[in-house]
Structure 1
């Protein structure tokens, strides 16, 4: 769990992952819906792990500032952002109807 200890965004991903899984469990998603949720969460964690590994390697390879290393880190961080954005869309598509139905019944 070096990633969670060393990367602030990993804490955000962990919190979001737990929250989404709790909401999904509350609404008793179908197995197919669970599959999509797990794939989305795994995509974010995989991108975050690769980003963290690239950052560690880049820091060792080039301890001094180098503009190309900075660009590589930015691209890797962008991959995390893309996967997180896609995961949010998947979560909204799956959980959105459940949440709307629940909110309309509470009123």
Structure 2
């Protein structure tokens, strides 16, 4: 049981590290919080919540994996290396794909609700 509890401590340390050192992770966290607030404000359905939570989770997980890959790449290749650059670019590309998925999901869910708030032209 002690090892299990300690492993959660390591995970919390990883989240703290990513939050403290990675601007993009903080941006994604803030965006996720804003979207959660919008979901509450617009009273979205259970299925819409599932898509929103999936999107937020996917972006944060890919950002954490990107950070891990970049950190490891910097460790094993402290000087510039073309292949190390490709590894970092590919992992960043995974984050972009997740973020675009999240953006499209958010637009599908929230755009119709936002349009209803606009005053109608007479």
Is 1:7 aligned to residue 22 of structure 2?
yes
Counterpart-to-counterpart distance in 2, 1:4 and 1:82? 21
Whole-Å separation in 2 of the counterparts to 1:103 and 1:84:
27
The separation in 2 between residues aligned to 1:104 and 1:85, in whole angstroms, is 29
CA-to-aligned-CA distance 1:2-60 (integer Å, 9 cap, x gap): 11111111111011111111111100111110000000001101110110000111111
Q: Hey, what does 1:102 align to over in structure 2?
A: 117
2:105 matched to which residue of 1? 90
Pick the aligned partner of 2:63 from 32, 36, 48. Answer: 48
Out of 34, 46, 53, the residue aligned to residue 38 of structure 1 is 53
In the alignment, what sits opposite 2:72? 57
Larger Rg: 2
1:22 to 2:37 alignment: yes
Gapped regions of structure 1 (runs ≥ 5): none
The alignment's TM-score, normalised by the length of structure 1, stands at: 0.93
RMSD: 1.1
